[in-house]
Amino acid sequence: MRIEFVKCHAKDALGYTTLSDINLTLRSGSLNIISGDDKSGRDYLLYLVFGIVKCSEGSIFIDERSLTKFNNKELKAHQENILFLAKNPELLKRLNVFQNIALPLRIRGLQSSEINKRVGNALKLLEIRHLEYASPRNLSAGILQKICIARCVALKPKAILANDLFFHLNPKERDATSELLLTLSEGGTTIVIATDITRIFKIENARYLTLWRGELSSD
């Protein structure tokens, strides 16, 4: 998925400017890390790409087509091609680990054999195969984040938007996740990670950008 911001401005619900004159192209299959403090507008950048908020001025293009031109059906399809990872992992407590990873695949209508194959592979890669029948209620935030990342591996989305992805991960988990992200981007998935400026983590071949009070600069 190719994502392009053209002279993009955005305001929050109270009318305050969150992003100012953003001009940025994220090529398909790129790994991008955007850092800033809580007032930088970094989260808003993800919301704009996902399509849950709109620019007050300017445009966002998805694969060279303006997001504002998408009808409801096209917007839904666009959002289904993206996996959004929140800072605090979000899972359905009534489902076990396997079922949580499998759910988006079932929604997309994949065959059970393909779902079992993909979920099994994801569990193995994240080293959580032993937890496939466990309830999310009993797991740490770090493990819950690994489950969400496993869902990325299984789903193979066109893009991943992540908010402070490494916040709950220990150094070993962080290193392993970085390797997975590189593998996913090399496979064509566009990845955008918004992170606090105090938690920047260097990943090989990643592109680093900084937001400060809504204005963008390259590191």
Domains of the chain: 1-81+159-168+189-219 (3.40.50.300), 88-156 (no CATH)
Tokens of 152: 């990325």
| In the predicted structure, residue 186 carries a pLDDT above the cut 80 | yes
Contact 118, 106 (CB under 8 A): no
Share in percent of the chain as helix, strand, coil (round to 5): 40, 25, 35
Higher pLDDT, 90 or 101: 101
Contact 30, 185 (CB under 8 A): yes
| In the predicted structure, residue 172 carries a pLDDT above the cut 80 | yes
| In the predicted structure, residue 117 carries a pLDDT above the cut 70 | yes
Contact 145, 165 (CB under 8 A): yes
DSSP bridge pairs for 32: 192, 207
| Euclidean distance between CA atoms 87 and 175, whole angstroms | 18
Model pTM greater than 0.85?
Answer: yes
| Euclidean distance between CA atoms 215 and 188, whole angstroms | 28
